Amino acid sequence: MEEHVRAAVRVKPSEEEEPSCLKIIEGSRVRAPARDGKGHATFAVDRVFDETASQEAVLEWVKPAIVDVASKGLNATVFAYGQTGSGKSHTMGFEAATLFGPDAGLVPRAAEALFDALAATRRSLVHCSFLQIYGDKVLDLLATDDTTNLVVRESRSETAGFDHKRIFVQGLSEYQVTSAADVLGLVARGLRGRATRPTDMNSRSSRSHAILQVAVEVETACSREERRDDDDDDDDDEWDRASLDSAAASSPVKQRGGGRTVLRRAKLCLVDLAGSEKWSPAATADAELAAELKAINRSLSALGNCFAALCATADHVPYRDSTLTRLLEDALGGRALVIATVAAGRSSLEETVSTLAFAQRAKNIKARLRFDEVVNDAVLLKRARREIARLRRERHHHDARRDRDLEEARAAAAAAPAERALGKLCFELDVARDRAAAADAAATAAIAASTLLEAKVDPHPPPEFLGIDIDSPLLRDRQKYPRLGTMRRAGAATLKNACRAATEAAAKRERRRERANRRGATTRERMHHY
């Protein structure tokens, strides 16, 4: 759910000797003279409170957001912005004179409205904290010891499937309160430590940004939809119901009257910003005053830059430019109400026009409303069941994969000796085959050699060995002695075949050796893997 930031303007009555230069149109627009003195400028907001508006009227405008804090768990932030001396602290109630009585400001009235709304709930728990930002440092106004510079932190949490970022001050003291009077007592104590200084515009000008935080925890009945959703999920999920029921019994979430309850947490922030003012000659002479002015204007400028980025829906909002914007990041991203206080006199026209422009810019900001945190027994149990089922599925897959890997490793380890023995036998068989082939080759060579020797001892020697004249006409015809050539050719063919057989046997022996080497390498790789 989204809604625009709500902006209102409250006009401080002008001095008797200085007439008002502002004109209110239809209760939602303000017309002021232009800065250059030519023409007029009109600024549109949600509500304009004129000089006669009461403190109660301001409360009625803010009250719906306060009630939603208690009933719906929606965060709300109300802050006053304006020139120093324009009535911010008077409107908010951050003055001793506006904490009690008919002129009580927004703080005491909002506290009463909040506790009235909490009275309709089953159970509520409220804590209060009070701090100031002075010179870009966070100081605890309720600390019992000397205040030190606190640190702004952030944390993330998942609620109902959404990722929420929470900004908080580490080490900030919190006090449990049970009534509006308890809140006012803490505010009165904290105001005694707030930094103030007399200026030309205000005898007691606030020199720091004051932030009152009221954290609310409310227990309400669970809706029918939430119960029905939870009952539907009970039939689908397989989980250990006994263990979850035991966890639910020990959980802080209650079950009353047979029905489930919801625990919601929300926060109401009331912010009194330090007044903006121009550089004065007094600041030049006073180094401390100059440092205060620089810090205030720098933080207010950073706030204006954040508003401009939010109006333009920029991808990046410079929340980290100052401690103020860092701490108000949750507020600017949720339900926020701006009360711009202005002075009606012409002497303050420049600051008045700047404040009106700020309020109009704030009105154009669109924020997404969300529950700060919802803790529901149905939601918690449903989420726990789903998480348990998911973890069990993952564990089952993991165990199956682990068992499969272990079984493969065991099988490989058991087969390793057999594979080694098989490899050894194959190698020995190859060696035996090589030796047999070598023996065959040697036998073939021996046969060939003996054949050659037999061929040399011819039973029919040539005529020259017998003393016969070879030139005799009787021997000219060589066909009578064909045996000698035939025997020699047969011996040569036999030797050639023997050499070829020996070569082939050597090649086969080499191929067997290579196969044995490859088989041994594969076996070693498998053993190394397992």
Regions of the chain with pLDDT less than 70: 16, 146-147, 157-164, 198-204, 221-261, 279-285, 333, 371-381, 383, 448-499, 502, 520-530
Query: What is the 3-state secondary structure of 329-363?
Result: HHHHCCEEEEEEEEECEHHHHHHHHHHHHHHHHHH
Residue 203: what pLDDT? 63
Fold of 2-371: Kinesin (3.40.850)
Its pTM surpasses 0.75 = no
3-state secondary structure of 225: helix
Angle at 425 between CA 420 and CA 427, to 5 degrees: 95
Three-class HEC string of 364-380:
CCEEECCECEEEEHHHH
Structure tokens at 75: 């965060």
Q: Which residues are annotated as a binding site?
A: 82-89
Beta strands in 178-331 (DSSP E): 196-197, 205-206, 209-221, 255-256, 259-272
DSSP H or E run through 478: none
Instruction: Please give the pLDDT value at position 77.
Output: 93
Please state, as a whole number, how many other Cβ atoms lie within 10 Å of the Cβ of residue 421: 10
Q: Distance of alpha carbon 397 from its chain centroid, rounded?
A: 28
Number of Cβ within 10 Å of residue 106's Cβ equals 25
Element (H, E) at 124: strand 123-134
Query: How far from the centroid of its chain's Cα atoms is residue 170's Cα?
Result: 21
Alpha helix stretches (DSSP H) within 196-275 = 224-236, 241-250
Enumerate long-range contacts of 163-171, CB under 8 Å, 24 or more apart.
164/370, 164/372, 164/373, 165/329, 165/330, 166/330, 166/372, 167/326, 167/327, 167/329, 167/330, 169/129, 169/131, 169/138, 169/140, 169/327, 171/140
Annotated binding site for ATP: 82-89
Helix (H, G, I), strand (E, B) or coil at 409: helix
Question: What is the number of other CB atoms lying within 10 angstroms of the CB of residue 391?
Answer: 10
In whole angstroms, what is the distance from residue 475 CA to residue 470 CA?
6
First to last CA, the chain: 58
- Residue 279 confidence (pLDDT): 65
Per DSSP, what are the bridge partners of residue 288?
none
Instruction: Compute the distance between CA of residue 77 and CA of residue 324 in angstroms, rounded to an integer.
Output: 13
Checking DSSP bridges between strand 6-12 and strand 47-49, what pairing results, if any?
parallel
Domain boundaries, the chain: 2-371, 392-529
As a whole number of angstroms, the distance between CA 309 and CA 365 comes to 9
Q: What is the pLDDT of residue 230?
A: 46
